[in-house]
Structures are given as C-alpha cells and as structure tokens.
C-alpha cells in the first residue's frame, strides 16, 4: 500500500543521523515507492508544517552519496524546551500533513516528548535511538555513541603526548550531564588514570591519591583525568544540579582542576591544565559501527511501518535488530551506568580511579 511518511531528527546532532535518513529513504523508495517527507528542525518543522520531499537523487555529487560519511543532519535539529506549549498545533500538523506514519530519530528527551505528542495525537510513531550519551534504555546501541567514543579517544591520545612532555595533569571534560557511559568507555579505551562520572561519587582525595600513586609507585609524572560534565562528590550534589550549566563560570573540568591544584597532599605545585572537548564530540565522519547501526535501524523502521506496527522503537539487542515499545523506553531512560557495570569493574582492575565505589 502506498504510504506517505515523515522523518525528523530531534535533539543534539551526532554522526550517523544522515545514514539513518538515507536508509529510510532508500528502503521506502526502492521497495515500497512511498512518499517520504523530511521535516526540518524537528517539532519546529511540524509546527510550521514545512516539509521537503526526499528522494534518492538530488543530494548526490556525480553519483557519490555524501550522506553516508557526513556528520550532522541534513534535516536540521533543535534542542528547545517549549515544544509542549505548542502541543495542540503540533498534533494537528501531523493530520494536516496527511502522514501515515512518522519516524523520529532522537534521544531520551526527544523521544519522551514525541511519545507524549503521539499518544495525545494518536500518531503512528516509530522511533530510532540516537545519543552520544548512550543512555537510551532497552538498546545496546544508539546512533552516534561509537563515533563520539572514538573522537574522545583520539583527543586523549593527543593530550597524553603533550601532558607527558610537560609533566602535566590534564583534566579532560567530556559530555555527560546525567550519564557517564561516554566518559567510561572513552576513558578506558583512551588510557585515562581517573574517570569521574555522575553515577559514582568521586572525592578529590581519591583523585589526588591516584596522581600521587602514579608518581610515587610508577614514576609517572603526568596524569589524565577524564571528567563527565555531571560528575559529583558524595557530599555535594553535582555542579550540574546546583547551577545552570550555561552560566557556569568555568565548567566541571576547571572546577576539578582547581580542586586538584589546591589539594594539600600534593606538596609539589602540579601543572594542571584543562581541555574541554565540547562540540567536537558531536562531529566527525561516522564510524563503521554507527553507519551500520543507523542503516539497519532505518531499514527496520520502514519494515515496522510496512507491518503497521506502531509505537515501537527499533533497538539493538543480543547481536540483532529488534523493536521495543517506546513507552517502555521512555519509562526507563535515561539509563545510568549501573554500580555493578562490567566496564567500571574493568576500569578498576586496570588501576583506574573511578570514584569511591
């Protein structure tokens, strides 16, 4: 049956979004010859009832499809908080656009909002998980995470050489306000000495003890400290919780660096530096894994629509693509690093300080 489907990308961008868009368009056009409407800027495009007809032609450069290796999203995205204020208009747009189904590529925040709109509006919603935080529940993989981990590992490699050359403590701030998966994966793979994440309280004593140990026991005069934005101590709540992030004078990385510098057990004055990886974590050519996940997810999303099996998110479980109810995903997200997480144990066995767990 001929269908007319919409697709949008919501929340912070990441590498692999375009691969998923490409896969949806390819499968929908080649197998089904459906009409595919790209909706720009997520719910903003819905609100304004703007669409772009997506075809397999039109984006190519002498036949080379740039979507496979391009970061970001050709549909644009937004990260705004006032979507629900326009709920009724957005809900009406779905009908006005005469969509048979809507594919939303988003993280836990976006999916929660879209799920609510879909319930109210009786939309035929299909979700594809994306997040560089890896905190969407019920899926082992989400688009963008693998590339972001590789980006940070590459940065850690660069920073390690300069830290070692100058005997510095390098504090590296990475994304992660509520979940520490990114810091944990990248920290282990990149050879960090300390990994501070929101889920496991750190103490500055613990951090400084590790730095001293490296020097006294191993003769290592530099150290790499990976800090998630939302790291916190046992006593205090996170800076992320107590302050508005946007107005933070210095950020979490600088905060930790200041703590290290003023710690009394380190008799020598340490040369402590901060590197905030920031927006580069969202960029880059998608890794092979993100391309594959995105392509398989895009294909599976179209299949769900063909079977008219709505309200589901495509997911990666146990080596294959499955689908799970969006309602269950939203209920359990954002997914934190569990205290008995295997990689936390692994990190500690490698001699990495991962908070006072």
The helix (run of H) or strand (run of E) holding residue 226 is strand 223-228
Residue from the set 84, 98, 331, 350 that interacts with a second copy by CB under 8 A: 350
**Measured CA angle at 118 (ends 112, 119), to 5 deg:** 90
Closer to a second copy by CB, 232 or 282: give it.
Answer: 282
d(CA 344, CA 331): 25
Task: Consult the annotation and say whether 113 binds a ligand.
Answer: no
Task: Consult the annotation and say whether 110 binds a ligand.
Answer: yes
Closer to a second copy by CB, 69 or 203: give it.
Answer: 69
Question: How many C-beta atoms lie closer than 10 Å to residue 222's C-beta?
Answer: 22
Task: Consult the annotation and say whether 80 binds a ligand.
Answer: yes
Say which DSSP state 251 is in: H
Size of the site for a second copy (CB under 8 A): 93
Residue from the set 2, 57, 81, 247 that interacts with a second copy by CB under 8 A: 57
**Measured CA angle at 272 (ends 213, 247), to 5 deg:** 125
β-pair type (271-276, 194-196): unpaired
The helix (run of H) or strand (run of E) holding residue 222 is none
Closer to a second copy by CB, 86 or 215: give it.
Answer: 215
Binding segment toward a second copy, per CB under 8 A, in 90-98, 105-113, 161-169, 197-205:
161-169
Say which DSSP state 354 is in: -
Binding of residue 71 to a second copy (CB under 8 A): yes
Closest CA to 299 of 1, 14, 10, 21: 21
Residue from the set 13, 35, 133, 323 that interacts with a second copy by CB under 8 A: 13
Reported in sequence order, the residue ranges of 229-297 that DSSP labels E, i.e. its strands, are 271-276
Residue from the set 87, 273, 327, 336 that interacts with a second copy by CB under 8 A: 273
Residue from the set 6, 7, 27, 129 that interacts with a second copy by CB under 8 A: 27
Binding of residue 158 to a second copy (CB under 8 A): yes
d(CA 184, CA 192): 9
Binding of residue 136 to a second copy (CB under 8 A): no
Among candidate residues 133, 146, 193, 323, the one labeled active-site is: 133
Residue from the set 47, 87, 112, 343 that interacts with a second copy by CB under 8 A: 343
Closer to a second copy by CB, 30 or 331: give it.
Answer: 30
Task: Consult the annotation and say whether 229 binds a ligand.
Answer: yes
Binding of residue 336 to a second copy (CB under 8 A): no
Please list every residue from 289 through 318 that binds a second copy, using CB under 8 A. Answer: 289, 291-292, 295-296, 299, 302, 317-318
323 is catalytic: no
Tallying the residues shown for the chain, one arrives at 357
Closer to a second copy by CB, 115 or 130: give it.
Answer: 130
Main-chain phi, psi angles of 12, to 5 degrees: -60, 140
Structural contact between residues 126 and 297, judged by C-beta atoms closer than 8 angstroms: no
Closer to a second copy by CB, 192 or 208: give it.
Answer: 192
Residue from the set 87, 112, 119, 164 that interacts with a second copy by CB under 8 A: 164
Closest CA to 98 of 49, 52, 55, 54: 49
Task: Consult the annotation and say whether 147 binds a ligand.
Answer: no
Residue from the set 276, 310, 327, 332 that interacts with a second copy by CB under 8 A: 276
Radius of gyration over alpha carbons of the chain, in Å?
22
**Measured CA angle at 305 (ends 304, 309), to 5 deg:** 60
- Please name the residues in contact with 283: beta carbons below 8 A apart, sequence gap of 6 or more: 15, 71, 72, 151
Residue ranges at the known binding site: 12, 80-81, 107-110, 131-133, 168, 175-177, 229, 273, 279-282
Residue ranges at the known binding site for ATP: 12, 80-81, 107-110
Instruction: List residues with catalytic annotation.
Output: 133
């Amino acid at each position: 049956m001929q269908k007319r489907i919409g697709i949008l990308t919501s929340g912070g961008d990441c590498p692999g979004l375009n691969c998923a868009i490409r896969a949806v368009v390819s499968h929908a056009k080649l197998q089904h010859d459906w009409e595919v409407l790209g909706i720009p800027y997520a719910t903003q495009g819905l609100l304004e009832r703007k669409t772009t007809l997506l075809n397999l032609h039109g984006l190519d450069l002498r036949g080379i499809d740039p979507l496979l290796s391009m970061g970001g999203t050709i549909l644009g995205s937004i990260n705004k908080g006032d979507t629900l204020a326009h709920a009724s208009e957005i809900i009406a747009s779905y009908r006005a656009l005469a969509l048979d189904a809507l594919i939303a590529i988003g993280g836990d925040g976006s999916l929660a909002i879209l799920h609510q709109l879909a319930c109210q509006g009786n939309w035929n919603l299909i979700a594809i998980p994306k997040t560089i935080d890896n905190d969407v529940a019920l899926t082992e993989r989400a688009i963008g995470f693998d590339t972001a981990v590789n980006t940070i590992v590459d940065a850690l490699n660069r920073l390690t050489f300069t830290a070692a050359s100058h005997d510095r403590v390098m504090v590296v701030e990475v994304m992660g306000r509520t979940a520490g998966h990114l810091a944990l994966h990248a920290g282990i793979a990149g050879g960090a000495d300390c990994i501070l994440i929101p889920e496991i309280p750190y103490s500055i004593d613990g951090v400084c003890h590790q730095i001293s140990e490296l020097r006294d026991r191993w003769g290592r005069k530099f150290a790499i400290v990976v800090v998630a934005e939302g790291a916190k101590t046992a006593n205090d709540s996170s800076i992320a919780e107590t302050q508005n992030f946007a107005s933070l004078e210095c950020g979490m990385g600088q905060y930790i660096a200041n703590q290290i510098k003023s710690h009394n057990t380190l008799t020598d004055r340490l040369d402590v530096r901060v590197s905030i990886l920031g927006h580069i974590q969202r960029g880059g050519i998608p890794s092979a894994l993100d391309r594959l996940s995105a392509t398989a997810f895009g294909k599976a999303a179209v299949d769900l629509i063909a079977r008219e099996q709505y309200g589901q998110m495509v997911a990666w479980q146990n080596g294959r693509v499955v689908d799970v109810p969006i309602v269950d995903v939203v209920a359990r997200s954002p997914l934190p690093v569990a205290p008995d997480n295997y990689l936390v144990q692994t990190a500690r066995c490698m001699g990495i300080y991962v908070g006072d767990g």
